[in-house]
Structure 1
Amino acid sequence: MSSVDFEEAGHKLAEIKLEPAQEMELCIMLLECCSQERTYLPYYGLLAQRLCLINKVYRKNFEKCFAKQYSMIDRLDTNKLGNVANFFAHLLATDALPWHVLAYIRLTEEDTTSSSRIFIKILFHELSDHLGIRQLNKRLSDPKMKDYFDSIFLMDHPKNTRFWINFFTSIGLGGITETLREYLQTMPAMQQQKSESSSDESGRNPNKWWK
């Protein structure tokens, strides 16, 4: 399947008058077909991007798909998980999907699993590949978009802050944590001691879970 195929498919689908429920079914079907492939095929992301540009309703539908897929990410095997992460990374990188969907992700030890961490790892690696680490960092640091990312870059407690810093550093994306590392260094000593105490009690090394 080539870029010509997705252009033609998008044009034909746009000409079909679908009911609202059918539009959602189309999004679900496209994502399901993408997940079933042995490896990720850009065709699906390009077609979804085309649909989002043609009609804003598809942006809303794929946002719902993102939320649903992430909520049931533990049900996907590694292959499907990777395809789905690549699919949504393409839509985000091309701004076909609004970045506020990332608010569905809460990156803490308690709120993530092995599967969700792998999904986040692939998603952000693909975003870095699409945009470049400098542009990605700029996007994530944009004050106008800060609220979208607060649930990922939590600063409510040193333990949570250290968790995502360690996570992104361990997957080779430590560059996007520099600003928030500075924040961590300014935290009161008592809070840092509390975080270290909590980490010791858990008796686990968070760095190994997503490798």
Structure 2
Amino acid sequence: MLAEHAALIAVLHANVGSEIGAHFLEVLSRKFDAMMETPQPVVNKTLDNLVACLALLYSFKIYHASLLYDILTRLVDELSEKNIDCVLTALRNVGGVLRKEEPAALKTFIHDTQTKITKLNQNAETGSRIKFLLEVLLAVKNNNLNKIPNYDPSYVEHLKKLSRGVVRRGNYVTTLNIRLEDLLKAHERGKWWVVGSAWEGNRVQEDKPTVKLPPTIDQKLLELARRQRMNTDVRRSIFCVIMAAEDYMDAFEKLQHLGLKGQQEREVVHVLLACCLQEAAYNPYYAVLAQKLCDYDRKYQLSIQYTIWDKIKELDSLSKHGVANLAQFLIHLIMGKALALSVLKIIQFSDLNKTIVRFMRQILLAIIMNADLTASLEVFHRISKPPKLHMFRESLRLFIQHFLIKNAGRKTTVLNDEEMATLKERAIEVDRILTLYENKLQL
């Protein structure tokens, strides 16, 4: 049943977050350390099962091989009968994996173990178990794995295939590069592998137990992330990078260093837009960062487009400042050519309400009345030709005429007379652009 448990942890590690696997590693490592402090009876299989479980977690790529070698080295430091059994248990479970994925490290471990055994033999008779351990080590080294008793990786490989089918699309198991010492001293040094937990905890508190320290920046950001419902370690990592960056370039570079893949990269857009909408007053920082991401890779354009569509669908549930911030965010990206105006095609113009009208008016007024007339008209040129946007163009023309020209200025002081005249002039030009290819399309 140990393999099934390891597979379950791997699936949770991928789907929920790497803190799941990290927690199990810490608990098991502490248990291992505690049991190694006192000699264990050979008949008691608790330590064997513990080592087997840790080895299987490595097989499912929860952690890097360096931790497993730390465990094996700890076992061979004192070559008791029980420790030798535990080393054999580990090799029986992952000997082939180590041989395949970490051959250099395995060779070093085998050499060091042989050296220790040689020194031991100078003062003691060679026991049968030590001889057997040497035979198994040589078998692993020479890729002759059939000599390992009860070695059968087929079931674990079967579980790996099954677990890959359960992991959500775009997710993957994040391999934690943690050492045994890190796990055992987590309460002193902090859990650097958990977002926001680095260097917090008991080290300073033990020196000054009566002093209540102010929260660190990381702690404040982590608490803020929780309030913003950043409920996975990936989202919290992205949130901390975005909120703690000196400027948009600093944020961009640090986001690249996070090593995000697949669906995790889409989380950048989710967090970015969530932060933007939560601001009481619009902050252009988020749009500038989004523009940089779009310029860097087109996949961010698609992610932003899909995320904005989701937000537009739930526009009525957003606060007034959230709607206004979303509009400003879109204005920046549309004027910067990161997105086309056709991103608004998802709006049902036949079923407009006050929120959507206010949202659309804010965007279209800002674009049409932009100080750079050429850039403003270019926005409409980009959507003037595709036949599939015909209905969207017609809807825009009607909206501009009815909600910008006829109703602009009513019960509001948004535009003065001079600005209203400019709006009408530009609206005529926009209408001409939107119908530029209509006759050709009909022919």
Equivalents in 2 of 1:161, 1:55: separation in Å?
Answer: 32
Equivalents in 1 of 2:282, 2:328: separation in Å?
Answer: 7
DSSP-derived class of the 2:321 partner: helix
Give the residue type in structure 1 aligned to 2:308: F
Alignment of 1:97 with 2:347, yes or no, is: no
TM alignment of 1:12-91, pairs within 5 A:
12-91=254-333
Give the residue type in structure 1 aligned to 2:428: E
Equivalents in 1 of 2:355, 2:315: separation in Å?
Answer: 6
- Aligned pair in 2 of structure 1 residues 46, 163: CA closer, same or farther (>3 Å)? closer
Equivalents in 2 of 1:83, 1:143: separation in Å?
Answer: 24
DSSP-derived class of the 2:281 partner: coil
Equivalents in 1 of 2:256, 2:351: separation in Å?
Answer: 39
Equivalents in 2 of 1:131, 1:20: separation in Å?
Answer: 39
Deviations 1:173-211 (CA, angstroms, capped at 9, x unpaired): 444432649x9xxxxxxxxxxxxxxxxxxxxxxxxxxxx
Instruction: Confirm or deny: 8 A CA contact 1:6 1:43 kept in the other structure.
Output: yes
Query: What corresponds to 1:207 in structure 2?
Result: none
Query: What corresponds to 1:5 in structure 2?
Result: 247
- Aligned pair in 2 of structure 1 residues 88, 11: CA closer, same or farther (>3 Å)? same
- Aligned pair in 2 of structure 1 residues 134, 175: CA closer, same or farther (>3 Å)? farther
Q: Of Structure 1 and Structure 2, which has the larger fraction of its residues in helix?
A: 1
Query: What corresponds to 2:404 in structure 1?
Result: 168
- Aligned pair in 2 of structure 1 residues 138, 97: CA closer, same or farther (>3 Å)? closer
Equivalents in 1 of 2:275, 2:388: separation in Å?
Answer: 29
Query: What corresponds to 2:428 in structure 1?
Result: 178
Give 1:95 deviation, angstroms: 1.0
Deviations 1:72-124 (CA, angstroms, capped at 9, x unpaired): 111112111000110111111111123431322343xx321111111111112
TM alignment of 1:118-133, pairs within 5 A:
118-128=358-368, 130=370, 132-133=372-373
Give the residue type in structure 2 aligned to 1:119: F
**Greater relative contact order structure (CA < 8 Å, 6+ sep):** 1
Equivalents in 2 of 1:15, 1:148: separation in Å?
Answer: 40
Give 1:128 deviation, angstroms: 3.6
> Mean Cα displacement is larger for which, 21-30 or 41-50?
21-30
- Aligned pair in 2 of structure 1 residues 23, 47: CA closer, same or farther (>3 Å)? same
Instruction: Confirm or deny: 8 A CA contact 1:93 1:130 kept in the other structure.
Output: no
Would you say how many aligned residue pairs link Structure 1 and Structure 2? Answer: 176
Q: Compare CA radii of gyration and give the structure with the larger one.
A: 2
Give 1:4 deviation, angstroms: 5.9
Give the residue type in structure 1 aligned to 2:372: G
Give 1:14 deviation, angstroms: 2.0
- Aligned pair in 2 of structure 1 residues 94, 163: CA closer, same or farther (>3 Å)? closer
Equivalents in 2 of 1:77, 1:96: separation in Å?
Answer: 25
**Identical counterparts, % of pairs:** 25
Give 1:39 deviation, angstroms: 0.6
Give the residue type in structure 2 aligned to 1:76: L
Query: What corresponds to 1:115 in structure 2?
Result: 355
Instruction: Confirm or deny: 8 A CA contact 2:315 2:323 kept in the other structure.
Output: yes
- Aligned pair in 2 of structure 1 residues 161, 142: CA closer, same or farther (>3 Å)? closer
Show structure 1 runs of 5+ residues with no match: 184-211
Q: CA RMSD in A?
A: 3.1
Give the TM-score of the pair, scaled to structure 2.
Answer: 0.36
Instruction: Confirm or deny: 8 A CA contact 1:137 1:175 kept in the other structure.
Output: no
- Aligned pair in 2 of structure 1 residues 100, 25: CA closer, same or farther (>3 Å)? same
Give 1:63 deviation, angstroms: 0.6
Show structure 2 runs of 5+ residues with no match: 1-242, 409-419, 435-443
DSSP-derived class of the 1:154 partner: helix
Give the residue type in structure 1 aligned to 2:427: T
- Aligned pair in 2 of structure 1 residues 41, 13: CA closer, same or farther (>3 Å)? same
Instruction: Confirm or deny: 8 A CA contact 1:154 1:161 kept in the other structure.
Output: yes
Instruction: Confirm or deny: 8 A CA contact 2:335 2:375 kept in the other structure.
Output: no
Give the residue type in structure 2 aligned to 1:177: A
